[in-house]
Amino acid sequence: MAAKYVSINNELFLEEDAKIGVSDLAMHRGYGIFDYLKVIDNRPIFIEDHFNRFYNSAKEMYLDVMLDRQQLRKAVEELVEKNGIPTSGIKLLLTGGYSEDGYRMGTPNLVILQYPLNLQEENKPDTGLKLVTYDHQRQLPYIKTIDYLMAVRLHPFMKEKNADDVLYHNTGVITECPRANFFVVIDKEIITPRNNILRGITRSKVLNFKVSGYTIAEEDFSVDDLPNVKEAFITSTTQYAYPVTMIDGKMIGDGKTGPATKQIREQLFKLTYAQ
């Protein structure tokens, strides 16, 4: 559930009154973009990176953002203050707007939602994620659009496969999870796919890390390489670096959080709390 107040076009509404007219192009044509950032103790984390991506996604989809960066930051801060929730996830959602004919763009609607975030999950037990591979290439992968049609449709499939999440591949070449980037460790190299993915903010931080005993590279690899993988993890705003211990029912490494994953996870915590 979103918090008590929601911002729509820079006006605050109670969550139960936060509504959008049925002619919005997100409803009719799944047309919109978004971004999602963390706020910890009232400090937004990597907000400039998220804003960079948000405004870029908007531009790529020909959507005007009614607020400039300074105004948008103020809108986020006001929402956080009004809701009185110092630690949360903030979702910025920009739709195709009210469409006269249900097909052509209108003036975009900007919705900002706050979701309480439980930071206890930073101390989650060391269970690791189970993934199941699926052959699918997201359209416009570099843009953070609202297109999660396949991901949501795959929920029953995931359940059937006893998996926590899906790992997409494009006719064999591994790309990403629906809401996270994917990394593996092969020999002493930490590798993450280079092409046809959304370039996550957390992923970009990891690519700049120095990890003792390992090199880091962006490089495509395939499902056939998975038997050689010693460690695997995903990165995302909410999950930091989180271990993957099983893919398609086969254990990765010894099924525990590996040393490279641990180092990266700790560096991400440090970087986050240094913000």
Mention every residue, 6+ apart, whose C-beta is less than 8 A from residue 135: 168, 169, 170, 171, 172
DSSP 8-state code for residue 67:
S
What's at 92, amino acid-wise? Answer: L
Asked whether position 27 contacts its own copies by CB under 8 A, the answer is yes
Asked whether position 213 contacts its own copies by CB under 8 A, the answer is no
Closest CA to 45 of 231, 188, 205: 205
For its own copies, the closer CB: 57 or 202: 57
- Of the candidates 79, 111, 129, 264, which one interacts with its own copies according to CB under 8 A? 111
- Of the candidates 73, 179, 199, 262, which one interacts with its own copies according to CB under 8 A? 179
Closest CA to 50 of 93, 13, 81, 84: 93
For its own copies, the closer CB: 53 or 205: 53
Asked whether position 43 contacts its own copies by CB under 8 A, the answer is no
Closest CA to 85 of 56, 49, 114, 44: 114
Closest CA to 233 of 195, 259, 199: 259
From 44-52, 71-79, 92-100, 127-135, span contacting its own copies (CB under 8 A): 92-100
Report, in Å, the least distance between residue 28 CB and its own copies. 6
From 42-50, 150-158, 168-176, 256-264, span contacting its own copies (CB under 8 A): 150-158
Closest CA to 136 of 164, 113, 157: 157
Asked whether position 194 contacts its own copies by CB under 8 A, the answer is no
- Of the candidates 65, 79, 93, 226, which one interacts with its own copies according to CB under 8 A? 93
Tell me how far CA of residue 92 lies from CA of 27, 55, 78, 262, in angstroms: 17, 11, 14, 30
**Residue numbers of the site for its own copies (CB under 8 A)?**
1-2, 6, 8, 16, 18-32, 34, 61-62, 91, 93, 95-96, 100-105, 111, 113, 115, 136, 139-140, 145-153, 155-156, 179
